[in-house]
Chains A and B, each alone.
Chain A
């Protein structure tokens, strides 16, 4: 793979994850408003929000340098994760679905990038010295603890099937092999976990504005808050991309521009589905959510069993 290809696709992926994500968030908000029978904000409202926040005064409740560094690492690790996911960039010349940095890091790294995002959020909250932020940090960690296994099991099902941990190989295998029961099951479980991964209702427990006033974000303002919000939006794109590429790699035309458009379309639809679930559900309590995802984790082992049986 040439350096030019890597740089080009990297920029494309980052464009999707960082630049385009507020647009999808805006569409989700529009849909939300439609369900509420409101007109709702314009579709590019999230851009306005970010721009406004970037210029706002940065209030710091603690001199701790982590309060500055942690939000940065939060967004950057989502960006890195975006570089580990193929986003419809199948190239006929190389014959792979390799994500831009796929030769430097694999699925395990992708999973740990999200651990790093969680660490960033938690440290931001804890460094702000606010007790509400501590409650939020504790909840964020518990959510991560229970949701991460589901994500890991789904991706590892694909890895066992493909015999490789490289995401490009996984997509390539599934695309060539056609639908497999283990993958369909894994996709189902991953879909049930997506809502919590992207921090939407009924699982936005770590923020929970009505109870703990934003949790880890309570003391954040100005640019640091912008970075945190932005990473939430970007996370949504990255997760939906993984779902759409690894678990539904069809249709694939073999023409790069067309494939990218198809991919974006799939992600758009998935984001809207997540938004609908978000708008019609109340928030769960943290203990309910923990139990739900621990059970889901156990049940999703069945996908692994199927994969081991070669199905």
Chain B
């Protein structure tokens, strides 16, 4: 079975080389990349299905570095890894298919700097989720960072993307540094030299009692390393810079796959590596707090954005916050009430899968808009629904999904997160402070969910509805089929996961119970009920506290639609197309266009203010005063070596040589005189020292 993993990996790596070799033939390059990626994706899907249906796969000691450093390449694919493999395989297929046409509109750039990196990126992230050895985990993590950086700066003549790339590079490497430091500290405590997760677990278990401060320090380092990748504020400030400037197809990967690696790290660390204890509770609260901070600031800031991809990048920060809220609540309640904790964890991870579908879809939609209009500015476009209905419909579905509108997938996962964090208020055994905190965090999440809706309705309204703007007359046709299909697949997944939430929830539950110590996670039926196809939530309080049964709801919805549309038709009203009515006046559509910037002005103004020279837009700082660093005079004098060392030395030398230069007069007689004087001097010396 493990051979399928090797096959997928080799397909991606060899594919990267072959694609690099034929990068001049643009068409062939794209299709062959698609071939390699889809073959690898098929392998990974099969592998994931095997893991879910049969059991986990292990392979140990493949590449042993034991004599040198005490580590070896060991692989374990449990349901948690398999969950990520599913996301990776589907998103990689969709994105590669989308890229074939999309990436060609970058006429100046070579494909050599796109496909090979893309394939290597997929290979590296497959490696990240399968490793059980910290060294190899970090190696793949680093390859992932580097390849993604190469793709972020794909437009190398664009100053904005170079700058964003530099910030991304520096920030993520600092984060990787934290990971390495934490790993090395743990390594120094392992009895036999080892980087294996199991040995780390043993170390943490003993050190938790002996030296809790050390454990918290290590966890803090890991936390910073992972949440920087997962782009939780305030560590994720690189994301709104880097995501918009990458090619849209790769932005979809960044949001759909890469930031999930950080979530994987957190879940793996706190579920598998760290034993459940008081410190995991503390960190649960911290994770939930950081999560809600990101939800709030990220989404509020997204509301003020007029750049389509920047808007979505800020929503990535917000949505990651939802996942962290669920996961953090889960870690906090694990020792108290495992049923509540399991539902919260399942909600967080379920939202992560859903986010992969809808956010990737949205970035591809934004890419299609860019492909058609050449701009990311929502103020300059409008009415594209007429032109590209397919993109419009998929964007609408994805927007409603991300805002948690039933019956799409976002609703199901947000329901789990909301209800588990709010019902925590009823939890016996937790302190009143913690109970109140989680209720408030849940309420903030509900409020922000409406802000998400507002923000995406702005995107839909200004890009797709209204009067057609921002397109030249010559290009009036929908995007090519190869760009429509990936959007369609992802939108379909949004609907499917929303209508039949039981299927993904079963998978996520399996992943959670596999990652947690044996017996900690309650059985599926005791949490989510056994009434197919709906879910009925039992938070371990002896009752069914929440229900969601989409199929019956949709049936009721459809019956009502039938009845209401029958009534609406009963009058036999005729339909006629008319001009837009501007209140009796004659206006051109361009004069009266309601631009993206105008949406929600009064609301945005409340959250926009100046503080100490920093402008906060939607609570997110947008401008910074120049940092003024001053040092003591002595240090500054010392540091200016020019002033007291180089220049004086240089001047001295110049004076000296100028003096010497005076001897060069240019008269041969003078030179003869010098020679004569020299000869006399030498002879005198020789005569004076007879012994010489």
Instruction: Given A148-B447, A305-B436, A307-B425, verify A130-B581 contact (CB < 8 Å).
Output: yes
- The answer on a CB contact under 8 Å between A75 and B594 is no
Instruction: Given A56-B571, A305-B436, A308-B425, verify A152-B602 contact (CB < 8 Å).
Output: no
Cα separation A109 to B603 with both chains bound (whole Å): 26
What mask results when residues 4 to 37 of chain A are scored 1 for a CB within 8 Å of chain B, else 0?
A: 0000001000100000000000000000000000
- The answer on a CB contact under 8 Å between A164 and B546 is yes
What mask results when residues 370 to 403 of chain B are scored 1 for a CB within 8 Å of chain A, else 0?
A: 0000000000000101100000000000001001
- The answer on a CB contact under 8 Å between A153 and B547 is no
Instruction: Given A104-B549, A223-B573, verify A129-B443 contact (CB < 8 Å).
Output: no
What mask results when residues 573 to 608 of chain B are scored 1 for a CB within 8 Å of chain A, else 0?
A: 111111111110000010011100011111101100
What mask results when residues 449 to 484 of chain B are scored 1 for a CB within 8 Å of chain A, else 0?
A: 011011001001100011100000000000000000
Instruction: Given A60-B576, A307-B425, verify A137-B461 contact (CB < 8 Å).
Output: yes
Instruction: Given A160-B422, A308-B436, verify A223-B571 contact (CB < 8 Å).
Output: yes
What mask results when residues 180 to 219 of chain B are scored 1 for a CB within 8 Å of chain A, else 0?
A: 0000000000000000000000000000000000000000
Main SS class of interface, A:
helix
Residue B435 at the chain A interface, CB threshold 8 Å: yes
Output the least CB separation between B461 and chain A (Å). Answer: 4
Contact of A115 among B403, B569, B571, B598 (CB under 8 A): B403
- The answer on a CB contact under 8 Å between A80 and B457 is no
Cα separation A10 to B436 with both chains bound (whole Å): 36
- The answer on a CB contact under 8 Å between B556 and A115 is no
Complex contacts, B576 vs chain A, CB 8 Å: 57-60
Query: Chain A: which residue is nearest B594 at the CB level?
Result: A134
Residue B446 at the chain A interface, CB threshold 8 Å: yes
Contact of B465 among A14, A80, A127 (CB under 8 A): A127
Of the candidates B534, B556, B576, B601, the one having the most CB atoms from chain A within 10 angstroms of its own CB is B556
Residue A270 at the chain B interface, CB threshold 8 Å: no
Cα separation A102 to B548 with both chains bound (whole Å): 9
Complex contacts, B560 vs chain A, CB 8 Å: 14, 76, 79-80
- The answer on a CB contact under 8 Å between B453 and A119 is yes
Output the least CB separation between B403 and chain A (Å). Answer: 7
Instruction: Given A72-B565, A307-B425, verify A104-B534 contact (CB < 8 Å).
Output: yes
Q: Which stretch (B157-165, B245-253, B537-545) binds chain A? A: B537-545
Output the least CB separation between A234 and chain B (Å). Answer: 11
Complex contacts, B592 vs chain A, CB 8 Å: 131
Cα separation A149 to B34 with both chains bound (whole Å): 46
Residue B257 at the chain A interface, CB threshold 8 Å: no
What mask results when residues 280 to 303 of chain A are scored 1 for a CB within 8 Å of chain B, else 0?
A: 000000110011001001000100
Complex contacts, B422 vs chain A, CB 8 Å: 156, 159-160, 165
- The answer on a CB contact under 8 Å between A101 and B556 is yes
Complex contacts, B453 vs chain A, CB 8 Å: 115, 118-119, 141, 144
- The answer on a CB contact under 8 Å between B405 and A116 is yes
Instruction: Given A163-B541, A166-B546, verify A126-B466 contact (CB < 8 Å).
Output: yes
Complex contacts, B454 vs chain A, CB 8 Å: 141-142, 144-145
Residue B307 at the chain A interface, CB threshold 8 Å: no
- The answer on a CB contact under 8 Å between A66 and B465 is yes
Residue A267 at the chain B interface, CB threshold 8 Å: no
Instruction: Given A122-B461, A138-B599, A286-B602, verify A72-B561 contact (CB < 8 Å).
Output: yes
Residue B552 at the chain A interface, CB threshold 8 Å: yes
Complex contacts, A137 vs chain B, CB 8 Å: 457, 461
Output the least CB separation between A212 and chain B (Å). Answer: 9
Cα separation A131 to B595 with both chains bound (whole Å): 10
Cα separation A301 to B603 with both chains bound (whole Å): 21
What mask results when residues 30 to 60 of chain A are scored 1 for a CB within 8 Å of chain B, else 0?
A: 0000000000000000000001011111111
Residue A187 at the chain B interface, CB threshold 8 Å: no
Residue B116 at the chain A interface, CB threshold 8 Å: no
Contact of A156 among B443, B466, B565 (CB under 8 A): B443
Q: How many residues does chain B have at the interface if contact means C-beta atoms less than 8 Å apart?
A: 82
Main SS class of interface, B:
helix
Residue B415 at the chain A interface, CB threshold 8 Å: yes
Complex contacts, B460 vs chain A, CB 8 Å: 123, 126
Output the least CB separation between A134 and chain B (Å). Answer: 4
Cα separation A304 to B442 with both chains bound (whole Å): 12
Residue A202 at the chain B interface, CB threshold 8 Å: no
Contact of A134 among B443, B466, B534, B574 (CB under 8 A): B466
Complex contacts, A113 vs chain B, CB 8 Å: 406
- The answer on a CB contact under 8 Å between B581 and A108 is no
Complex contacts, B594 vs chain A, CB 8 Å: 131, 134-135, 138
CB within 8 Å of B: which of A148-179? 148-149, 152-153, 156, 159-160, 163-166, 169
Residue B322 at the chain A interface, CB threshold 8 Å: no
Contact of B546 among A108, A115, A123, A294 (CB under 8 A): A108
CB within 8 Å of B: which of A231-269? none
Residue B432 at the chain A interface, CB threshold 8 Å: yes
Of the candidates B578, B579, B583, B602, the one having the most CB atoms from chain A within 10 angstroms of its own CB is B602
Cα separation A166 to B543 with both chains bound (whole Å): 11
Residue A219 at the chain B interface, CB threshold 8 Å: yes
Cα separation A93 to B627 with both chains bound (whole Å): 73
Cα separation A119 to B403 with both chains bound (whole Å): 11
Residue A227 at the chain B interface, CB threshold 8 Å: yes
Residue B423 at the chain A interface, CB threshold 8 Å: yes
Cα separation A17 to B581 with both chains bound (whole Å): 33
Residue B426 at the chain A interface, CB threshold 8 Å: yes
- The answer on a CB contact under 8 Å between A141 and B600 is yes
- The answer on a CB contact under 8 Å between A109 and B406 is yes
- The answer on a CB contact under 8 Å between B450 and A83 is no
- The answer on a CB contact under 8 Å between B457 and A141 is yes
Complex contacts, A148 vs chain B, CB 8 Å: 446-447, 450
CB within 8 Å of A: which of B603-630? 603, 605-606
Cα separation A30 to B333 with both chains bound (whole Å): 55
Output the least CB separation between B283 and chain A (Å). Answer: 23
- The answer on a CB contact under 8 Å between A119 and B556 is no
- The answer on a CB contact under 8 Å between B580 and A80 is no
Complex contacts, A102 vs chain B, CB 8 Å: 547
Residue A91 at the chain B interface, CB threshold 8 Å: no
Complex contacts, A123 vs chain B, CB 8 Å: 457, 460-461, 465
Query: Chain B: which residue is nearest A287 at the CB level?
Result: B602
Residue B572 at the chain A interface, CB threshold 8 Å: yes
Residue B439 at the chain A interface, CB threshold 8 Å: yes
- The answer on a CB contact under 8 Å between A163 and B426 is yes
Of the candidates A118, A135, A145, the one having the most CB atoms from chain B within 10 angstroms of its own CB is A145
- The answer on a CB contact under 8 Å between A64 and B543 is no
Cα separation A144 to B385 with both chains bound (whole Å): 25
Cα separation A79 to B557 with both chains bound (whole Å): 8
Instruction: Given A54-B570, A104-B534, verify A301-B440 contact (CB < 8 Å).
Output: yes
Cα separation A114 to B470 with both chains bound (whole Å): 33
Residue B553 at the chain A interface, CB threshold 8 Å: yes
Contact of A308 among B432, B549, B581, B589 (CB under 8 A): B432
Output the least CB separation between A83 and chain B (Å). Answer: 6
Contact of A153 among B443, B593, B601 (CB under 8 A): B443
Residues of B whose CB lies within 8 Å of any CB of A are 383, 385-386, 400, 403-406, 411, 415, 418-419, 422-423, 425-426, 432, 435-436, 439-440, 442-443, 446-447, 450-451, 453-454, 457, 460-461, 465-467, 534, 536, 541, 543-549, 552-553, 556-557, 560-561, 564-565, 567-583, 589, 592-594, 598-603, 605-606
Q: A62-B580, A165-B545 are in contact. List 19 more A-B contacts (CB 8 A).
A: A75-B564, A77-B557, A80-B560, A101-B553, A104-B556, A116-B406, A126-B465, A129-B383, A131-B582, A134-B461, A135-B594, A149-B447, A149-B450, A153-B443, A164-B545, A166-B544, A219-B580, A287-B605, A291-B606
Q: Can you sample 30 A-B contacts with CB below 8 Å?
A: A58-B576, A59-B577, A60-B575, A61-B578, A72-B568, A73-B561, A77-B557, A103-B547, A105-B553, A108-B419, A109-B415, A115-B403, A122-B457, A122-B461, A129-B580, A135-B594, A137-B461, A144-B454, A145-B454, A145-B603, A148-B450, A165-B422, A165-B545, A223-B568, A227-B564, A227-B568, A290-B603, A301-B443, A305-B436, A308-B436
